[in-house]
Chain A
């Protein structure tokens, strides 16, 4: 097995490079992605190697970035667009919801909306406002879209390639706070399908489910809990829409206790959906109501106090205590 150690940023870069090598119709488009390599350097060096026609520096207009990618898709191109930060995706919301999500249907299947919308999401990098948001639920709610998130360099490398090859439009959420963390990447074998959830740590007492940057936080919480005699299973959802409920339900059937972790506020969130679905599927196995540990229902705070907003190990363990407490 040929594995190599790299950051998630580098893994995404290598995944994009491989996809562009394999298929000449793959284009990249976004603000500052050429010479600069993107503000996070995810596309570093790609314009130099693939040219300005395939790695397109876009004028500063997100609706146009997505809207022209739609036109390119109709022409048979597969464009991976980079939204510079989560909080900048809203100007493109109309194109994503009205066109990207619906044109396959509206053309009776003639148009393939094979495009990937990469969004660096979630907080944790000490940024100013509009740079740390979690907009995934807006897209998960929209029929016609699929939403995924990577949590490791290996997943980043493979999931970006799988997303590009997929014939449906994919909202690809990248946990920006994990861009610079290293991990092993298997360059030969893809670990699993794009929409499969995975158990990252096995446990017996409580199931933690989350995605993106929350996965590492959940693993830390599990480690701490094990020292206190609580065995936690950690599930990385990976696919936010559709959810891999089979893997999640199998875990919950075993533990009977559920805590979902997300940075988005919990009203009408992906976490709400996970709790609702699993309550229905696993009703007779539940030993406690499913809880959500989320961002608070306030605009994302100034980043000097973001650690109090984002789900922390302590807040996760508090929820673990509460679901464990239902037993006694």
Chain B
């Protein structure tokens, strides 16, 4: 399955490999920082699955297996760039500095958003997959009109790559030379549909047909994802137009906590990908090349545990929202039907606060 064109800078065993066009520019400290990001992302994600199993979340979308793709891309972004995510970009959200508790509001079913998208330059999660790719291109057209050196990232997966909106966004980005990077995490599965159902050619080949470069990167190699995405973003910022980055990775867990992957995929496949784990290979590199000691790795794990427990407390403290808040921000300007609903609820004596 892995393409010869795949950009890889770090093997699953944690050995550096040379690539003709890309070289890792990261210092030891930076690689360690990304390792920490990945460990924390995975730990928080697992806490999400646990909380859902305990009835504390309506749903959770695990990210395990995709940490390198998300941290590599997330750290490649500049503060001036803007991201249009799906609901599974927890690692990128982490890199944008959004407090983890805020990602959980939607999954706790207490909010339809959760953070200020303009403050973090990271949009609200899109559940109707594919829609966000057009928002990214439109935003990028605004960046062009402002004459600003910013790039925009559109996140989607192999499943949404079949959506008309994603393909239309390719047309638009190419026609207008929009400063956008299409960051496609091909995690091989769209719920139960294998990526071969979405595309008969490698996904990144599609870009060429639309008139811009596509590149496939080992999505479990944080060094490679970082370099490939960084170059694509830099190119977009200076007027070079769109790039599609296909991060070739694997969804180790279920699509969401409502899913049962044992019904549609075999253990042997999961085993293969276990050996390509994105976190372990960086750990091996850090231990061998930078002499990072076990005690340091243990410290990171302890920090991640502490963050997860703090998160758990924060999430459990999220009570039922005041029902009256459903009327807030339905419209920007006063609206008679919203006012009518609000008045009716007041007349019914609906009380706010936690239940």
B305: which A residues are within 8 A, CB to CB?
none
Looking at A27, A68, A73, A111, the one whose CB has the most chain B CB atoms below 10 A away is A68
Q: Give the contact stretch, choosing among A57-65, A282-290, A309-317.
A: A57-65
Contact (Cβ within 8 A) B128 A109 = no
- Check A144 for interface membership: any CB of B closer than 8 A: yes
Distance between A102 CB and nearest chain B CB, rounded to angstroms: 8
Q: Give the contact stretch, choosing among B117-125, B197-205, B218-226, B307-315.
A: B117-125
B175: which A residues are within 8 A, CB to CB?
59
List residues 130-173 of chain B with CB under 8 A from any CB of chain A: 131, 133-146, 164-165, 168-169, 171-172
Contact (Cβ within 8 A) B139 A71 = yes
A109: which B residues are within 8 A, CB to CB?
328-329, 332
Contact (Cβ within 8 A) B141 A72 = yes
- Check B113 for interface membership: any CB of A closer than 8 A: yes
Q: Give the contact stretch, choosing among A10-18, A37-45, A74-82, A117-125.
A: A74-82
Q: Select which of A98, A111, A114 is within 8 A of B128 by beta carbon.
A: A98
- Check A1 for interface membership: any CB of B closer than 8 A: no
Q: Select which of A68, A94, A95, A106 is within 8 A of B124 by beta carbon.
A: A106
A101 to B117, CA, bound (A): 17
Given that A71-B134, A98-B131 are known contacts, is A166 also in contact with B172, CB under 8 Å in the complex? no
- Check A104 for interface membership: any CB of B closer than 8 A: yes
Q: Select which of B113, B128, B137 is within 8 A of A107 by beta carbon.
A: B113
- Check B335 for interface membership: any CB of A closer than 8 A: yes
- Check A69 for interface membership: any CB of B closer than 8 A: yes
Distance between A42 CB and nearest chain B CB, rounded to angstroms: 22
- Check B299 for interface membership: any CB of A closer than 8 A: no
Given that A95-B134, A242-B337 are known contacts, is A75 also in contact with B169, CB under 8 Å in the complex? no
- Check A110 for interface membership: any CB of B closer than 8 A: yes
- Check B264 for interface membership: any CB of A closer than 8 A: no
Contact (Cβ within 8 A) B113 A143 = no
- Total cross-chain contacts (CB, 8 A): 140
Contact (Cβ within 8 A) A104 B331 = yes
List residues 158-215 of chain A with CB under 8 A from any CB of chain B: 166-168
Q: Per-residue CB proximity of A130-146 to B under 8 Å, as 1/0?
A: 00000000000001101
Distance between B212 CB and nearest chain A CB, rounded to angstroms: 14
Distance between B126 CB and nearest chain A CB, rounded to angstroms: 8
Q: Select which of B116, B123, B164 is within 8 A of A74 by beta carbon.
A: B123
B112: which A residues are within 8 A, CB to CB?
102, 105-106
- Check A103 for interface membership: any CB of B closer than 8 A: yes
A260 to B147, CA, bound (A): 51
B140: which A residues are within 8 A, CB to CB?
71
B332: which A residues are within 8 A, CB to CB?
104, 109, 112-114, 167-168
In the complex, the chain A residue whose C-beta lies closest to that of B115 is A108
- Check A70 for interface membership: any CB of B closer than 8 A: yes
List residues 81-120 of chain B with CB under 8 A from any CB of chain A: 84, 111-113, 116-118
* B interface secondary structure, majority: helix
Contact (Cβ within 8 A) A108 B142 = no
Distance between B107 CB and nearest chain A CB, rounded to angstroms: 14
- Check A301 for interface membership: any CB of B closer than 8 A: no
B84: which A residues are within 8 A, CB to CB?
71
Contact (Cβ within 8 A) A108 B113 = yes
- Check A228 for interface membership: any CB of B closer than 8 A: no
Contact (Cβ within 8 A) B138 A144 = no
Distance between A167 CB and nearest chain B CB, rounded to angstroms: 4
List residues 307-355 of chain B with CB under 8 A from any CB of chain A: 328-333, 335-337
- Check A67 for interface membership: any CB of B closer than 8 A: yes
Given that A72-B139, A75-B138 are known contacts, is A59 also in contact with B117, CB under 8 Å in the complex? no
- Check A327 for interface membership: any CB of B closer than 8 A: no
A64: which B residues are within 8 A, CB to CB?
134, 137, 165, 168-169, 171-172
A98 to B163, CA, bound (A): 15
Q: Select which of A70, A91, A110 is within 8 A of B117 by beta carbon.
A: A110
Contact (Cβ within 8 A) A94 B329 = no
B171: which A residues are within 8 A, CB to CB?
59, 61, 64
A168: which B residues are within 8 A, CB to CB?
331-333, 335
- Check A217 for interface membership: any CB of B closer than 8 A: no
B168: which A residues are within 8 A, CB to CB?
59, 61, 63-64, 67
A245 to B144, CA, bound (A): 44
B336: which A residues are within 8 A, CB to CB?
242, 245
- Check A49 for interface membership: any CB of B closer than 8 A: no
B135: which A residues are within 8 A, CB to CB?
67-68, 70-71, 74, 99
A71 to B124, CA, bound (A): 12
B117: which A residues are within 8 A, CB to CB?
74, 107, 110-111
B335: which A residues are within 8 A, CB to CB?
146, 168, 242
Contact (Cβ within 8 A) B138 A74 = yes
Distance between A52 CB and nearest chain B CB, rounded to angstroms: 10
Distance between B96 CB and nearest chain A CB, rounded to angstroms: 15
Distance between A190 CB and nearest chain B CB, rounded to angstroms: 17
Looking at A95, A105, A113, the one whose CB has the most chain B CB atoms below 10 A away is A105
Given that A64-B165, A98-B131, A110-B118 are known contacts, is A71 also in contact with B337, CB under 8 Å in the complex? no
Distance between B51 CB and nearest chain A CB, rounded to angstroms: 22
B116: which A residues are within 8 A, CB to CB?
107-108, 110
B126: which A residues are within 8 A, CB to CB?
99
A244 to B118, CA, bound (A): 35
Q: Select which of A70, A94, A108 is within 8 A of B138 by beta carbon.
A: A70
Beyond contacts A74-B117, A109-B329: 9 other A-B pairs, Cβ-Cβ < 8 A, are A61-B172, A63-B165, A68-B135, A71-B138, A94-B131, A94-B165, A106-B113, A144-B330, A146-B331
Interface residues of B (CB under 8 A from A): 84, 111-113, 116-118, 123-124, 126, 128, 131, 133-146, 164-165, 168-169, 171-172, 175, 328-333, 335-337
Between-chain CB contacts (< 8 Å), 14 pairs: A56-B141, A64-B165, A68-B135, A68-B138, A68-B169, A71-B136, A76-B142, A99-B128, A99-B135, A109-B329, A112-B332, A144-B330, A166-B333, A167-B332
Interface residues of A (CB under 8 A from B): 27, 53, 56, 59, 61, 63-64, 66-77, 91, 94-95, 98-99, 102-114, 143-144, 146, 166-168, 242, 245
The 5 closest A-B pairs by CB, nearest first: A71-B138, A67-B134, A75-B142, A68-B138, A167-B332
